């Protein structure tokens, strides 16, 4: 069995989507993930052990690990501490549009419609915050 290389972190605010995707892909994790074996790849437990960790505490952990963050934080543009953590730790973040992603099903629709474009962001250096809707990806200024 080979170790998995984790590339995506799903925030606690989209835990249902994170669990769904991580059940299919070894390169995805979410807070509280105890690890798994997916397609003969062993994913380690998540660096963020609980869903109760404040954003300004988990953002540095996952950014420093090189993960692309997927979240649904509709207030990210107003949260100074979170934005500072993104900039300081050169985080790479995709924010699912709150309007388009109110349920796990709707989040899955946005994520899968934008999957190829989101995956291409793995090669882009941070810091950045990208808003994802069903039809577009757009940069939010950090």
Cα–chain center distance at 74: 14
pLDDT single digits (tens) 21-65 = 999 999 999 999 999 999 999 999 999 999 999 988 999 999 999
Q: Which residue has the tokens 């990806």?
A: 137
Q: Which residue has the tokens 């709150």?
A: 98
CA–CA separation, 48 and 57 (whole Å):
9
Say what the alpha-carbon torsion angle 102, 108, 109, 110 is, to the nearest 10 degrees: 70
Tell me which of 98 and 123 has the higher pLDDT. Answer: 123
Q: What is the pTM of this model?
A: 0.93
């Amino acid at each position: 069995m080979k170790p998995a290389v984790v590339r995506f972190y799903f925030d606690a605010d989209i835990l249902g989507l994170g669990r769904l995707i991580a059940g299919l892909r070894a390169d995805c994790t979410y807070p509280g993930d105890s690890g798994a074996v997916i397609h003969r790849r062993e994913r380690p437990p998540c660096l963020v052990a609980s869903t109760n960790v404040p954003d300004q505490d988990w953002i540095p952990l996952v950014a420093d690990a090189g993960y692309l963050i997927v979240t649904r934080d509709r207030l990210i543009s107003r949260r100074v501490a979170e934005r500072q953590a993104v900039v300081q730790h050169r985080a790479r973040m995709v924010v699912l549009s709150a309007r388009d992603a109110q349920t796990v099903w709707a989040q899955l629709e946005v994520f899968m419609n934008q999957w190829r474009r989101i995956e291409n962001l793995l090669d882009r250096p941070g810091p950045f915050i990208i808003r994802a809707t069903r039809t577009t990806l757009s940069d939010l200024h950090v």
